[in-house]
Amino acid sequence: MTTNDIPYISSLAMIDHLKGYLTTEEELAFMQLLFSSSASIKGANYGLRRKELEKLLGIKNDDNALQSFIDRVNGALNRYFKIIYDERRDRVVVMMRITAKNAKSTLSSEALAILLYMFYQQEVLGHEFTLVHQILVDFGHESLNANRRMKSNIDQLKKVGAVEDYEASSEEAYQLTTIGVHLFSESFLRRTVEFAQETKLNKEEVMKFFNRYNLHVEEDKE
Amino acid sequence: MENVDVNAPISIFHSDYFSAEFMKSMRDLASLSAVLKDLSTEKMYDSPMEIIRFLNIIQLLNTASLGIGDPIDHEDTLYYRYRHTYENDSEPPTLQYIQRVLHILERNNWVVKQTRQIKLMDRGKRMMDGLIRMGNDALAYYLQDDIGRSLFQARRDAEISAAYDDKGISGGNKIASMIYNVEQAVEQLENRQLEFLADRNALPQLEKINQLMLGLEEKMTERLAQFQTIEESLVMSDLMHRGTAAITKGTTLSLSVLTKYVRFVTMQLTPMEEAISPEKVRNFILAMYNPPLHSNIPTAHDIFSFMEQNQYEEETFDGMWMPVKFAAPIGHQDINDAIHYLATYEPKREGDIIDREEPEYREVEMVGDSIEEMFEQAAWQMTKAQIDTTKIESYLDDHGESEIEELIVRASSNKWHDAVLSMLAVSALTSSKKIDRSPKAETANFEKEWEWINDDDKRYTIYKLFSDD
């Protein structure tokens, strides 16, 4: 496989930048990561397992080395891609930034609202999971076919790997995956909260509200 | 039902299904659904206005029947009174619509049209009361915020239970429902403590919840105490435990949130001014899912559209993050391999295939009795079972052949009934081809009790045919 197969990368001047940051193995590992994040056949299993990535990088159980790799790639490419490590599912995934215009065609607005709700519950309020029943009650159970509509929207979220079934609960429940946690861009969250508050807000405050503060500072540093 | 408790409330669930009263009450409900069904058009669910118009008409009829309003003589009166009473309805129903409604009501025995007056039947009165009460209850429910709702429902349950159960009519499992609602409310309160704490505007709401809790505790203990006296203590004691537990938990929780909140506010009086209200965020997210038409609430896609305008720096650019999805490229070698695979596909098998000898099939011709013969033999056996031929056969076995008359007389006797039996046997043997006959000119005369009708009939010799059994 050559870089030509990934049109995005070859057109980015950033890739030259990246060379300076990464060793050859790391570059190859990153390419492998991009490729493996793609196969939609795998369902929600985007990306590589940590072990596989470590093998490509030639390290073993070295948190610092792994983190350094992730930080460097993210540092160089954070305008287009980010690598995230999903500890719970043991997967390293590449996520891609999408413009506001294209974002509309990815998920339905209802699915996004549900995801936002789970995001709020789990990231802001610190709940471990969100009950299906609760979503149904909160999101207008008065409409016709409410349950079916909600399920099909959640299915969309499952397909992109943003949420997964929460097994440990006796009731049907969902938990955000790392993909779900990182899906919303800062601008989107800021706009959303501004609409909710009906006032202009500082981006940092919004990030603080969603417990994304650390993330934000990190990106600023780069 | 044996052992009828005097205190047992009247309930459809425990009544005799075949009693006239029970049938009537069920038919009442059927008529309710019939009216609603006749009224409903395709769009009924989505047009609450249609329903309130119907209820308005009912309300007019109802008040008139109670003597609050003037009596209604016919549709026209109703039509004008509607326009006069409900001035806020910009599209009052047409006269035709009112006629239709009245027609439906009349068909279901809710009203009677008399020449001078439209009168409510008893059934109509009760149904209308019920409908209006239901509507008002629902409105009161929805006017509460989402935590208040469960508590409101709980209080309402307590009231209904007082209104019904005390009068000896079952209000349904109102106590259980009340307790359930309190539990729900307490759970909600517990889950959303954080929001309340962070939200400056939550104070009035918290106060309200606390008030409700206190009021409810009183009501509930009062209700439960009543049930203590009734002999249902086994079922009730469970409920009572649950109820008191829920109430206690709820009251302490609401109080603790309240005190925490007060402390929180005094502690951070200034910085809170700028901060984000979780309650507002939450409500906004809920509204985003399915915003009502003509509202100013954007959906998630609207927010994206908004971002496209790029008012903040790089907003367009920062749309959303998605997991990467490239289609994996398929090389020509892969395609070749796939074709080769399909072309040469062989199912997997375990071990070698052992050649089994094909069984050889030969055509075998049956030599022997034809089917016809077989049947004849069977028929013969059956005949033999009915007709005794042994004497004739044994005689012929001994003598080979004999004249027919000789055979008949010698084989048995010269009596005529033996002759009949013997003739039967001879004819049976002949028909089954055991014996045959040949004509004979001279015959001897034997002494016998009977005569041939036709003397020529005796000129035969009977002989045995060759038989293979």
> How far, in Å, CA of B280 to CA of A85, rounded?
32
This prediction's pTM: 0.54
Given an 8 Å threshold on Cβ–Cβ distance, is A99 in contact with B316? yes
- Give the one of A96, A101, A127 whose C-beta lies nearest to B324's C-beta: A96
Residue B257 structure tokens: 């949130």
For B15, phi then psi, to 5°, come to -100, 165
CB contact under 8 A, B307 and A82: no
**Per-residue pLDDT at A39:** 47
Q: What residues contact residue A148 under an 8 Å CB cut-off, 6+ apart?
A: none
Say if CB B220 and CB B243 are below 8 A apart.
yes
In B228-262, which positions are buried (b, 16+ CB within 10 angstroms) versus exposed (e)? eeeeeeeebeebbebbeebbebbbebbeebbeebe
Percent of chain B scoring above 90 in pLDDT: 0
Judge: B324–A1 Cβ closer than 8 Å, yes or no.
no
Asked if residues B301 and A104 have their Cβ atoms less than 8 Å apart, the reply is: yes
Residues 390-409 on B with a CB inside 8 Å of A are none
pLDDT, tens digit (0-9, with 9 covering 90-100), for B21-66? 888 888 888 888 888 887 776 556 667 788 888 888 888 888 888 8
At B2, the pLDDT band (50, 70, 90 cuts) reads very low
Place of tokens 């080769």: B340
Phi and psi at residue A148, to the nearest 5°: -65, -40
Q: Which residue of A has its CA nearest to B287?
A: A139
Q: Is the pLDDT of residue A216 over 50?
A: no
Q: Which of residues 183-242 of B touch A (CB under 8 A)?
A: 191-192, 194-195
Assess contact for B65 and B119: CB atoms under 8 A: yes
pLDDT, residue A117, reads 92
Is residue B28 a contact partner of residue B127, using CB atoms and an 8 Å limit?
Answer: yes
Asked if A82 is an interface residue toward chain B (Cβ–Cβ < 8 A), one would say: yes
The predicted-structure confidence for B326-383, as pLDDT tens digits, reads as follows 665 677 888 888 899 898 888 777 777 777 888 888 877 766 667 777 777 777 777 7
Mean pLDDT of chain A: 78
Cross-chain Cβ contact A38/B324 below 8 Å: yes
Chain B residues within an 8 Å CB radius of A46: 323-324
- Cα A59 to Cα A70: distance, rounded to the nearest angstrom: 13
For chain A, say whether B273 makes contact (Cβ under 8 Å): no
Q: Given CB atoms, is A186 within the 8 Å cutoff of chain B?
A: yes
If you count DSSP H runs as helices and E runs as strands, how many of each does chain B have, helices first?
17, 6
Q: Is B281 on the interface with A (CB under 8 A)?
A: yes
Residue B261 · residue B197 · CB < 8 Å: yes
